[in-house]
Amino acid sequence: MDQYLYGVVSAEMPANFELEALKSQAVVARTYTVYKMFKGSKHANADICDKADCCQAWISKDDRFAKWNEDERESNWNKITTAVDSTIGKIVTYNGEPINAFFHSNSGGTTETVANVWGGTDYPYLQSVETSGEEEYSQYASTVTLTKEEVLQKIQENHPETQIDFNTENAIQILEYTDSGRVKTIQFGNVQISGVEARATFGLKSAKFSVDIGDSITFNVIGYGHGVGLSQTGADAMAKMGATYEQIINHYYTDVKIENI
Ligand SMILES: [Zn+2]
């Protein structure tokens, strides 16, 4: 488990993040793994895979070293292994069971609930919480600019019936936001889709965005990822302000405990 987690933490979080942030990532990644092992995997022949957009990222030590400058390899690796080893056996629990420990890169200031991203019912330990300091990170703000034709084509891939008259006011209109400020429903001409679908359709880093309509269409995006659970950049920002990994975990997951397996 801990050998595996070295590869997860070094793939999921930059080694120059604070040690307490890396520890929180180690405990969350261990929890996420245990949950998949005992509560059910998405995969028929494996507990977990190494894709960040499916389960959680993993990288081999050799591949990781190849991406680090030579003079920082040993110190980076020591920091990663320290984060894992100093939290050995620790997982996040709710009512005595491992939580489904979702995490993401940057919440854009407020995390999201499960139901607003994947539907279904919300988890009591995955509430929307505010987080500060994330705007200091490159993952915070991004833009995607597309031509009007490109916007129409991309929407039509899933909704062939779509027609947009860009000469009319409200050709593209955000209709509803979630409580965390992400787009819940957005209208493109005669078609309404969810903010989550718009994120996937246009390759936006998050569902928290505004739209500028000019000669082209620009999506101004805040945050990076689905927004549920721990924010990695938020964890680093908290650690910079003196928070321990326990405090970080208890901020992003509501009413949980950190227990030994
Ligand atoms: Zn997977």
Query: Using one digit for the tens of pLDDT, what is the confidence trace for 79-89?
Result: 999 999 999 99
Ligand 1 mean position, distance from CA 57 (Å): 9
User: What pLDDT is attached to residue 41?
Assistant: 83
* Partner residues linked to 219 by β-bridges: 144, 211
Look at residue 163 and tell me whether its pLDDT is greater than 90.
Answer: yes
Q: How many domains does the chain have?
A: 2
Question: Do 58 and 112 belong together in one domain?
Answer: yes
Question: Do 54 and 130 belong together in one domain?
Answer: yes
**DSSP H helical segments within the chain, as ranges?**
2-12, 19-39, 61-67, 73-85, 114-118, 148-158, 195-202, 232-240, 245-252
Ligand 1 mean position, distance from CA 5 (Å): 15
Question: Do 147 and 129 belong together in one domain?
Answer: no
Question: Do 112 and 126 belong together in one domain?
Answer: yes
Ligand 1 mean position, distance from CA 102 (Å): 13
Distance in angstroms (rounded) separating the CA atoms of residues 204 and 119: 19
Look at residue 199 and tell me whether its pLDDT is greater than 90.
Answer: yes
Question: Do 119 and 190 belong together in one domain?
Answer: no
Question: Do 84 and 164 belong together in one domain?
Answer: no
pTM: 0.94
Domain encompassing residue 194: 141-222
User: What pLDDT is attached to residue 40?
Assistant: 80
Question: Do 128 and 151 belong together in one domain?
Answer: no
Q: Which residues surround ligand 1, an ion (CB under 5 A)?
A: 49, 54-55
Question: Do 44 and 160 belong together in one domain?
Answer: no
